[in-house]
Amino acid sequence: MQKAKILVTRKLPDEVENRLMDTFETILNPDDTHLSAEKLIQHSQDVDGILCTPNNQIGADLIAQFSDRIKIISTFSVGYEHIDVAAAIKRGITVTNTPGAVTEATADIALLLMLGASRRAYEGERMIRTDSWPGWTPTQLLGIGLQGKRLGILGMGRIGQAVATRAKAFGMVVHYHNRNPVEFDATYHKDAEDLLKVSDVLSLHFPLTAETKKFLNKDRIDLLPPNAVVVNTARGGVIDDEALIAALKSGRVAAAGLDVFDGEPHLNPTYRDLENTFLLPHLGTATMETRVDMGHCAIDNLVAFFKGQEPPNPVVG
């Protein structure tokens, strides 16, 4: 049987690429160069599917120019806002993602952000690295303890529940908002705004959509308790940057731990100037184990599709 031909848009871990080459006729990207829209259109003429990443913006205009040969887009990510799913489905193109593989690593980063932001880790590390530490004093870099604090989780899916499990081990009291209650020992809030009012620490875990863009705006930030900490491992676009920056400057929000940014890698530069921010470069899934698992998940979707089966993780739009 002739193998399907797959375009892989970015450099992936060796184990993943080796399996791809064993399974499909594969066009790899060994130099990890960004493929322009023109290149994607060109490649679409002679491949059956695309294994892409969030760096590839595959909107309706681009999809309209793809060859009819393209039958599946398998994204190496949980989020799929970089793909116009409705436009793909309209053209008969299946879209899949990799939800289960990212849970534990992303939850770990969320806790790292909580600790880093609440305990002023950036300021402390900078003091050490710039040789400006005067020595221990009783009032130096006093932060916020997590024990007994109310953790508000917006989006109680796999990652939200994994974060909640870790937070309980730190002695936090978990509250959450989700479209529907889940089977987890925590306090459910039907309305997101009610959750915000009790979130000493707020952790964001919902997808970026037209409805959630800039969800955390000034009005919602003003609902948070005094000295709240905001953590985001979801997508940068769910936060109104200007509103959060203003709240961080004024002290309305005590600190923020951010792993994702609107427009990344070109984040709002003011974040860099704030001492009460703990910033990471989208490290949520950045372990070798997780990235390999994501690759296998993306391949499993492709394998099932080309066998005529339902892929394990279809995106339905």
pLDDT of residue 1: 54
Active site annotation includes 252: no
Backbone dihedral region for residue 137 (phi beyond 0: left; psi -120 to 50: alpha; all else: beta): beta
Go through the domains of the chain in sequence order and give each one's CATH number: 5-97+288-306 (3.40.50.720), 103-279 (3.40.50.720)
What percent of the chain lies above the pLDDT cut of 70?
A: 99
Active site annotation includes 235: yes
**What tens digit of pLDDT does each residue of 208-217 get?**
999 999 999 9
Judged against a pLDDT cut of 90, whether residue 59 lies above it is answered with: yes
Q: What is the DSSP letter of 180?
A: S
Query: E strands, 32-142, where?
Result: 49-52, 72-75, 94-96
Contact (Cβ atoms closer than 8 angstroms) between residue 256 and residue 277: yes
pLDDT of residue 316: 87
Average pLDDT estimate for 105-133? 98
pLDDT of residue 92: 97
Cα–Cα separations (whole angstroms), residue 282 to 97, 105, 106, 113, 207: 18, 12, 10, 11, 15
pLDDT band of 2, cuts 50, 70, 90: confident
d(CA 313, CA 317): 12
| Active-site option among 123, 282, 289, 296 | 282
Active site annotation includes 158: no
**What tens digit of pLDDT does each residue of 224-263 get?**
999 999 999 999 999 999 999 999 999 999 999 999 999 9
pLDDT of residue 288: 97
Q: What is the mean pLDDT of the chain?
A: 97
| Active-site option among 43, 119, 220, 235 | 235
d(CA 196, CA 202): 7
Q: Which residue has the tokens 């590390």?
A: 125
